[in-house]
Structure 1
Amino acid sequence: MNDKFANKVAVVTGGSTGIGFSIAEALITQGAKRVYITGRSETSLTRAVTALGSAAIAVVSDVVNLRDIQQLRELIENNDDQLDVVFANAGICEKRVFGETTEQDFDRTFDINVKGVFFTVQTLLPLIKDGASVILTSSICSSNGMLELGAYNASKAAVRSFARTWANELRGRKIRVNALSPGFTRTPLMENSLKLNQQQIDELADWAAQTVPLGYMAQPEEIASAALFLASDDAKYVNGIELTVDGGISQI
């Protein structure tokens, strides 16, 4: 255990499972005073807080709903907290065939992955300390043309663009904004968003073992460790970048 985040206050959207949960867990392990985790499922949030302990505060919140984001801000304000770190992590990944994608499908992806990220950071901005760190969860799909993920790929490219622009726009407050782009990672998103069954997940893991240079599919805690690097003072001169954490697959 170390204290890199001692007395720090953070927000992790989409923090009840997967990468978001691992980020929250690592923050608390490294001394964070308080971590607000958000999600749409009260059941998942309750389970997460039980595992994380008293430093975690669960907030049922949908990033698509601007009123929910405002209520998150009000809760933080009522606790007299200011934010050292914001992880805009909530997102979905749904397969849609080009030519068969509905307007509703498209809007759902962009509302959660793009609008949600934009208004989460914008709404919380007055509470973010000067010199703080903001990390946006993008994806290796932001720069490739992965089949049946056209809307998702484009949404994550937009998130990558936000990191560049906000790093520039927030320069006067020395707020660092970076994008984190995971590769293939074993999270509940595979079942919940991609609707993969166990056989399909196993096949993807076998494919990753043969294709990813490191020879396996990542676990959420491996992505979280990179996320905490971006949030920490170890990365105090790192700003506006995309940190790709994918075992090397983007390089081959």
Structure 2
Amino acid sequence: MKLKGKIALITGATSGIGKATAQLLHQEGAQVVITGRNKETVESTAKEIGGNTIGIVSDAGKMTDIMTLASQLKQYVSHLDIVFINAGFGKYAPLEYIDEVHYNEMFDTIVRGTLFTVQQVLPLMSNNGAIILNTSIVTEVGMQNSSVYSAAKAAVQSFTKTFAAELISKGIRVNAVSPGPIQTNYFDRSNLSKEQVEQFTTSFAPQVPIQRFGLPSEVAEAVLFLASDASSFIVGAEISVDGGFPKIKTT
């Protein structure tokens, strides 16, 4: 097993990419700690993953939760070898309809949440540890109605390099995965209606060169690679898991 004896924290791990990653890292021998906003969902997910999986209720959009995360972790583990900062969601609006609430929701969870979660768990990180951030293909292509979400993910993309530059002297590698269109419940917390989501997925799928949406497990495999010794010479990098979109045009 690639991660035998390792301890991994995955934020936002009760569904989608986070859950798939927690399951895979557990299968590869890691003790897994997951976070989520809902106590019942956190507990059921931890039980589903099995073994010695630990569930902690923590909202990446709330500073009070972020600032107490390390103390909660210390109740269960002595250190962390792997951290996957995954918690986040997307909201969309045309430029003229963006308001402060929309802006704050995105930046509080995606930007502030990423920055301060890494800051708070840093004292627990072991030498030769790995931190993986979750960016997005929206940083590479201009997409309508996604100004705030794209800007927030661009900040995380920047963190990948700046965190890497700061932490490499501590023996901690920082990298990122950049998912494209993935089959998850990603839109559950968005402001899009069911019809709008269906319209988006129907129109977007043909633009992906591989002609389908990705699976959460396919992103999880990239996280596993960056978390393992197989990527020991990779620092400050971003691995795209996007089926070729938007880099390849087939028509």
Deviation of the 1:72 alpha carbon? 2.1
Q: Distance in 2 between matches of 1:200 and 1:75?
A: 39
- Equivalent position of 1:85 in the other structure: 82
1:248 partner letter: G
Q: Distance in 2 between matches of 1:65 and 1:249?
A: 33
- Equivalent position of 1:50 in the other structure: 47
- Equivalent position of 2:112 in the other structure: 115
What is the correspondence of 1:81-160 to structure 2 with a 5 Å cutoff?
81-160=78-157
Deviation of the 1:51 alpha carbon? 1.1
Choose 40-49 or 210-219, whichever is displaced more. Answer: 40-49
- Equivalent position of 1:17 in the other structure: 15
Q: Distance in 1 between matches of 2:129 and 2:65?
A: 23
1:190 partner letter: F
TM-score, normalised to structure 2, is 0.94
What is the correspondence of 1:23-38 to structure 2 with a 5 Å cutoff?
23-32=21-30, 34-38=31-35
2:235 to 223, 232, 239: 239
Identity fraction in percent: 38
TM-score, normalised to structure 1, is 0.93
2:126 partner letter: K
Q: Distance in 2 between matches of 1:55 and 1:26?
A: 14
1:183 partner letter: G
1:189 to 186, 191, 197: 186
Listed as ranges, the gaps of 5+ residues in structure 2 are: none
2:165 to 143, 165, 168: 168
Q: Distance in 2 between matches of 1:80 and 1:40?
A: 20
Equivalent residues, number: 248
Listed as ranges, the gaps of 5+ residues in structure 1 are: none
2:227 partner letter: A
Is the CA contact 1:15–1:21 (under 8 Å) kept in the aligned structure 2?
yes
Q: Distance in 1 between matches of 2:191 and 2:226?
A: 28
Is the CA contact 1:140–1:183 (under 8 Å) kept in the aligned structure 2?
yes
Give the direction of change, closer, same or farther, for the CA distance of 1:187–1:196 in structure 2 (3 Å limit).
farther
